[in-house]
Amino acid sequence: MRARKPRKRRAGPAGVAAVLLLVPLVSLAEPSSARRGELLHLLKQDCGSCHGMTLKGGLGPALLPETLAGKPPEMLIATILDGRPGTAMPPWRPVLSREEAAWLVDVLLEGVPREEQANQ
């Protein structure tokens, strides 16, 4: 009689659902306080060099809550990470994680606090 190979167990629907429920929690990780400071500096200096130091527009469009309203956050994250081909918007994926880009989008949608703009 031939020995049976052990069957590989595959996750059933409940197991897959449990894993999928954990995925959004990973993307909610907020950058450390020090990294948030660096990201705000990047927003003011690097993004501000094209989008205006007060983010009211320049070479690039304004990045104010009212101009970003209605735009899907995932699209904004993708724009930050992958840039806009054919424009001056570079991809920031080499230096930013998805979580950091998502944090920046949240900051932009809420409005960069004035004291943060003044401190940077």
In a domain, 11, yes or no: no
For residue 61, tell me if it sits in a domain. Answer: yes
Tokens of 30: 């907020």
**Is 84 part of a structural domain of the chain?**
yes
Answer whether residue 45 is part of any domain.
yes
pLDDT at 26: 38
Count of structural domains, the chain: 1
Query: What CATH number is given to the structural domain containing 89?
Result: 1.10.760.10
Query: Which pLDDT belongs to residue 115?
Result: 54
Classify residue 5: in a domain, yes or no: no
| Across 9-23, 35-49, 57-71, 99-113, least confident range | 9-23
The predicted-structure confidence for 24-34, as pLDDT tens digits, reads as follows 433 457 899 99
Is pLDDT of 67 > 50?
yes
22 vs 12: which has the higher pLDDT? 12
Q: What is the pLDDT of residue 5?
A: 57
Q: 3-state class of 97 per DSSP?
A: coil
Q: Does residue 66 register a pLDDT over 50?
A: yes
Using alpha carbons, select from 53, 23, 32, 25 the residue that is nearest to residue 114: 53
Residue range(s) defining the domain that contains residue 114: 33-119
Give the Cα-Cα-Cα angle 113, 50, 96 (nearest 5 degrees). Answer: 70
Of 38, 46, 111, 57, residue with least CA distance to 80 = 46
What does the alpha-carbon distance between residue 106 and residue 40 come to, in Å, rounded to a whole number?
12
Contact 46, 63 (CB under 8 A): no
Provide the percentage of residues in the chain whose pLDDT is more than 70. Answer: 71
> To 5 degrees, how large is the angle CA 77–CA 82–CA 84?
100
pLDDT exceeds cutoff 60 at 6: no
Residue 48 in any domain: the answer is: yes
Read off the tokens for 114. 């004035």
3-state helix, strand, coil in the chain (%, to 5): 55, 0, 45
Q: Looking at the domain assignment, is residue 38 inside a domain?
A: yes
Residue 72 lies in a domain: yes
